[in-house]
Amino acid sequence: QHVIQADETTVNVVSDDKTKSYMWLYCTGTDTPVANNPFKNIVLYEYQPGRSGCYPANFLLNYTGYLQVDGYQGYDQTKAKLAGCWAHARRKFDEAEKAQPKGKTGKANWALNHIQKLYRIETRIKDKTAPEKQAIRKKESEPLLNQYKAWLEKSLLNTLPKSKLGEALNYSLNQWDKLVQYVEDGHLSIDNNRAERAIKPFVIGRKNWLFSQTANGANASAMLYSIVETAKANGLIPYDYISYYLTQICKPGCQIDDLLPWNIKS
């Protein structure tokens, strides 16, 4: 795939009680079927007993396409072209805005309003083709980004680095090359929200089942979540899809590719 989005979250594995285990997520395409979508809607979970950057590097191996992620440095170990997430940049300023004295407006408000301008452009062009998105971003978003960076650098000169505002300013500047990457390719999104939405069912489920007993159990969960969430992303009812799959897989001459969710008509 040309663009992959990734995220990760903790998972409690009882047999790994001396380590902090993680469920990693990789996804492509969109949350639901979209006409003329150039990418397959895929959601893959992978269990690993840690958060080291070697895990996404090994999973993606020699992948050199775009990888859209949050600011976690572990993804730097991959060979992918990293794209950043404006939702995370905005979240930092939202925290800074909440830390301001009540009734006061300041730099955080300016940043939030400016980021909102970038999102308004994305809302307007969401149904455009990738080349059309790229052209509009170059014309309209790029000047806003240049203005935003100049403001970041100026604001940082008179802001305490360890304050909430300082943290927000530094996040955007440290992630700058990744944050502006989306302007260069219309296939990229402005943020990593696709991955955050894809991992949410696991996060919600974790509140109910609490833990996996062993690594084998966590791996089984990863496989089942991958099947179910990919089926949902392709407009299929998971129970019906799995029932159909199990019925067809045992037939002579069955081809696995024919049973992949994006090749099944809902």
pLDDT computed for residue 100 by the predictor: 84
Looking up tokens 């009734």 gives 103
**Does residue 13 have a pLDDT over 90?**
yes
CA gap 84, 40 in Å, rounded? 21
The string of DSSP codes covering 151-178 is HHHHHHTTS-TTSHHHHHHHHHHHTHHH
Q: What is the pLDDT of residues 17-32, one digit of tens each?
A: 778 999 999 999 999 9
pLDDT computed for residue 204 by the predictor: 94
Q: Which amino acid is at 58?
A: N
Q: Is the pTM of this model over 0.95?
A: no
pLDDT computed for residue 220 by the predictor: 96
**Does residue 37 have a pLDDT over 90?**
no
> Can you tell me the mean pLDDT for 193-217?
93
**Does residue 104 have a pLDDT over 80?**
no
Q: What is the pLDDT of residues 231-248, one digit of tens each?
A: 999 999 999 999 999 999
CA gap 47, 213 in Å, rounded? 13
Whole-number average pLDDT of the chain? 94
Q: Are the CB atoms for 47 and 15 separated by under 8 Å?
A: no
Q: Which residue has the higher pLDDT, 138 or 207?
A: 138
**Does residue 266 have a pLDDT over 70?**
no
The alpha carbons of the chain give a radius of gyration, in whole angstroms, of: 21
List, in order, residues 6 or more apart from 254 with CB less than 8 Å away: 248
